[in-house]
Structure 1
Amino acid sequence: MKQEFVEEHPDSYVSLYALEENNGMYSADSYAVAYGKLSDRLKKTNAAESIRSRIAALKKLTPVGMAAQNFTRKDQNGRTIRLSDYRGKLVILDFWGSWCGACRQSHPHLKQLYAQYKDKGLEIIGVANENVHGQKTPLSRSKAAWLAAIKKTISTGFMY
């Protein structure tokens, strides 16, 4: 609904702030398109500058169709996971947070995909982000939040 509102009201401050707060609902490209439709008046605001910066950062990460940069993280059991360990497999990176309702709603679908394609080499790696709106969350609290969320997801079948 918020995306529709932004689309239908390109000169509304509500659209500007909805776009600023809901960047996780867009790919880098669709986020840039949505921003591009805002009125020139709104594009002169500080909030618009924040959106432009975020779009630029998103576009630097991994362009569509390109290999993701390698990373190393600990899983929920303390084991080291490297993206490069999955080279040659089809990997879905699921960036989520315990606070993100839309992210959590996708988990049953991801479980279904995994069950259907794991024998063909599909891997799903969940990467939890507990920092909401740029607010740094203490590591112990972050870990407790995503571990609790994982417990609520029955028989995940894929890495978190």
Structure 2
Amino acid sequence: MKIKLLIFAALAPVIVAAQTPNFTITGKIGNLNKPAKIYLDYTSEGKGGSDSCELVNGAFKFSGNITGYASSRITLSREGIRDKEIYGTKGLGDVIYVNFGPENIRINSADSLYNAKWTGSKVYNEMKAFEKLVGPTVMTVHHNANVTINRATPEQQNDTLYFKALDKQVQAFRKSRGEKMLEFAKTNPNSYFALQSLSELVSGYSTKSDIALPIFNNLSEKLRLSYGGQGLYKLLNAHTVTALGAAAPNFTQNDVNGKPVSLSDFKGKYVLIEFWASWCSPCRAESPNLLKQYAAYKDKGFEILGVSVDGDKAKWVDAIKKDGLTWTQISDLKGWDNEARKVYGISGVPANFLISPEGKIIGSHLMGEVLNKKLAELLN
């Protein structure tokens, strides 16, 4: 008994240390009070957390444990409704996407989270320096475009040429950012943001493996062996498994009622495997278009198989209900460790693959009008 007590006593400091938060985010946004709330969602090395805090005279504080750098979304809702701020404000919500580390961070702003100043975070400063070199994030570009649309005259908002011109500007920003990220990854092999650049390029810009893999192999060993590095390596090699014309890898996960569903169950139909999550605003923004396409083609041999990378069943089911999604939905509820995501090498959501009736991959990363045109070619 004495030996056991001594062992426990020796382990106790380790247990306490493991529970001690290694980051804090303290802030003040104006003089906001209840019902105003601020929300923090973050992931670090494959593990994540979610927290919320009511503002008291504008003040709030978060703390937690992370390993290395964290990717996060922080949301401020003056009504205390996170979903409305993210999905119901036409891209004008007070939402930011930032990186931080195990640091003591301070956020201050007189009016909004979007305009807040950060101090005490070396990682955040690195992120801003990176953005200065390659350009603003896609989320920022779209936010700014939505601000422009919101300020447009009624005549402009009904002018298709106006929207085409604005879209042309957005695409130009994206192209420029893509080119600069590729160059950054080549010339900064020790930077975390080199790895982030390659992940974004492969996932969101469909950069081919033969271009990205040599750059990845030149990254530092620490980056290549990190959780994000291993995930990107799988993604780069998964492109051979999920190349156009390849047989779609089969997988089985449970639907919302706990019933196993396999991709092979849909053989004989065109199937869009749609990877998404309840917390993913671009995923939710694509839902109305998917609803239209499903209604138009479900009687012509088209199906959608939603694969969620959620870890919280309640939030997953609630998102399905709120968005009115009527096609089959499955998940293993392992969050970002979803097994189907690994098989298909997905490094970000939304992402999808279009499967032929014979079970072959005939398209990938088809969003918006690109998806609509592809379906019209196949099914009209």
- Taking structure 2 as the reference length, the TM-score comes to 0.33
* Local SS of the residue matching 1:44: coil
Which residue matches 2:309?
Answer: 129
Identify unmatched segments of 5+ residues in structure 1.
Answer: 131-136
1:134 corresponding residue in structure 2: none
The structure with the larger Rg is 2
Larger RCO (CA within 8 A; separation ≥ 6): 1
Q: Which residue of 1 aligns with 2:326?
A: 157
1:94/1:145 Cα in 2 relative to 1: closer, same or farther (>3 Å)? Answer: same
Work out the CA distance in 2 between the residues paired with 1:57 and 1:36.
9
Deviation at 1:31, TM superposition (A): 5.3
- Kindly tell me: are residues 21 and 36 of structure 1, through their superposed partners in 2, closer, same or farther at Cα, counting changes over 3 Å? closer
Residue of 209, 213, 220 corresponding to 1:32: 209
Whether 2:69 is the aligned partner of 1:69: answer no
> Are 2:242 and 2:248, in contact at CA under 8 Å, matched by a contact in 1?
yes
Secondary structure of 1:74's aligned partner: strand
Indicate how the Cα distance of structure 1 residues 91 and 121 shifts in structure 2: closer, same or farther if over 3 A, else same.
Answer: same
Q: Which has the higher helix share?
A: 1
Aligned residues of 2:198 and 2:212 also touching (Cα < 8 A): no
Structure-to-structure mapping, 1:1-160, within 5 angstroms: 1-2=137-138, 4-9=176-181, 10-11=183-184, 13=191, 16-19=194-197, 22=200, 24-27=203-206, 30=207, 32=209, 35=212, 43-45=218-220, 46-47=222-223, 50=229, 53-59=233-239, 61-130=241-310, 137=311, 142-154=312-324, 156-160=325-329
Q: Does the 8 Å CA contact 2:192/2:223 hold for their aligned counterparts?
A: no
Q: Please give the alpha-carbon distance, in whole angstroms, between the structure 1 residues aligned to 2:211 and 2:322.
A: 34
Query: Per-residue displacement from partner, 1:21-68 (whole Å, max 9, x unpaired)?
Result: 5354254xx253663695x9x933233561651334422542222231
Q: Residue 218 of structure 2: SS of its match in structure 1? A: helix
Secondary structure class of the residue paired with 2:320: helix
The normalised TM-score by structure 1 is 0.71
Per mean C-alpha deviation after superposition, the further-off stretch among 70-79 and 89-98 is: 70-79
Q: Structure 2 unaligned segments of length 5 or more: list them.
A: 1-136, 139-173, 330-380
Aligned mates of 2:308, 2:213 — CA distance in 1? 30
Cα distance, 1:153 vs. partner?
0.8
CA spacing shift, 1:90–1:36, aligned 2, 3 Å: same
Structure having the larger proportion of residues in strand:
2
Runs of 4 or more consecutive aligned structure 1 residues displaced over 4 Å after TM superposition: 1-4, 12-15
